[in-house]
Structure 1
Amino acid sequence: MGLTTLAQAQTAEDDANAPIEVEADRLDLDDRAGTAIYTGDVDIRQGSMQVTGDRVEIRRNAAGELSRATATGERAYIEQQPDPDEPIVRGWGRTIIYHVSERRVELIDRAELHQGGDTFDGGYLEYFLDSRVVQARSDGEGVEGRQRVRMTLQPER
């Protein structure tokens, strides 16, 4: 395993092992279903990851581990520093779905992603945290109308 891969794995592991801290106006918890629904100016942090929105639903798998977080709001937000040597990745959308085990983020409707100096906008963006792959579309499920894909890439230094 290379040093970069080791650092990425360490950051992901650090985040996964960090406690989840939540602030919200309301919580509806269903232990049997494995869901927690937070509403009202929600701010969730775990390690280098932060998720905010008007409503955030957290799902846990059978082992009790976080499996998915879905944030909704006028401008739901997610950020994470995937590697200590790299800039924080920031994303916005009306819906954000973080698939924990896949380390994949979906940004839906008025989606925006900032990765260092590079920016991506569109109706639907999908970002893979480990491989740094971005996939963008102008439309998709949950997207109002067509929202053209735009990107700004900074030159390599």
Structure 2
Amino acid sequence: MTRPPLASLLAPALLGLSLTALTTPPAQALEGDASAPIEVEANQLDLDDRAGTAIYTGDVDIRQGSMHLTGDRVEIRRNASGELSHAIATGERAYIEQQPAPDEPLVRGWGRTIVYYVAERRVELIDRAELHQGGDTFDGGYLEYFLDRRVVQARSEAEGVQERQRVRMTLQPEQ
């Protein structure tokens, strides 16, 4: 069995991890993000073609165009058909950001765990979760963002997290 090029495993993951749809439909993302080179830095990579996983560890930094994902560990999983099913970034403060359009503010998200479910186009920010867009912020133990519908669901508790983290939201008035 030949191993697929690393870029073929990463490309759909990074395109899917893009937070483009947090503020605009995917077609309005920064032009060139999807065709930009994928740059990955980590201390270690464990690639398992049979299991459909690529696990990066040690100060992981992934960039493609305006998208940036960091964590102590990033795991990318494929389903039985070889398609990306989800990506999980973990760390004391895993981080994801995207510039949705040249005239829109940067969207940033943090959590001890960030999970992106490709088929559902859904992002989970878990434990000390924060989502920032311009001056608007959402904080809590668990934030779930449905990319296409632009729906945020926030909870003070997350599964497996010991401490309650009250939900807080700050919205800036329209100018």
Tell me the TM-score normalised to structure 2 length: 0.76
Supply the AA of the counterpart residue of 1:81. Q
RCO higher in structure (CA 8 A, sep ≥6): 2
**Aligned positions, number:** 153
Encode CA deviations 1:92-128: one digit per residue, 9 max, x unaligned.
1110101233332100001011012101110000112
Query: Which residue pairs with 2:149 in the alignment?
Result: 131
Q: State percent identity of aligned pairs.
A: 84
Instruction: Return the offset for 1:54.
Output: 0.4
Encode CA deviations 1:62-104: one digit per residue, 9 max, x unaligned.
4544331101110000112334442221011110101233332
Query: Which residue pairs with 1:78 in the alignment?
Result: 96
Query: Which residue pairs with 2:132 in the alignment?
Result: 114
Contact map agreement 1:81 1:89 (CA 8 A) in 2: yes
SS at match of 1:9: helix
CA distance in 1 between partners of 2:57 and 2:106 (Å): 26
Which is strand-richer, 1 or 2? 1
Stretches of structure 1 that go unaligned for 5 or more consecutive residues are none
SS at match of 2:29: helix
Give 1:1-157 correspondences, 5 Å limit: 8-11=26-29, 15=33, 18-157=36-175
Structure 1 stretches of 4+ moved >6 Å: none
Structure 1 residues 154 and 10 mapped into 2: Cα distance closer, same or farther (>3 Å)? closer
SS at match of 2:27: helix
RMSD: 2.4
Stretches of structure 2 that go unaligned for 5 or more consecutive residues are 1-22
Supply the AA of the counterpart residue of 2:153. Q
CA distance in 2 between partners of 1:86 and 1:128 (Å): 19
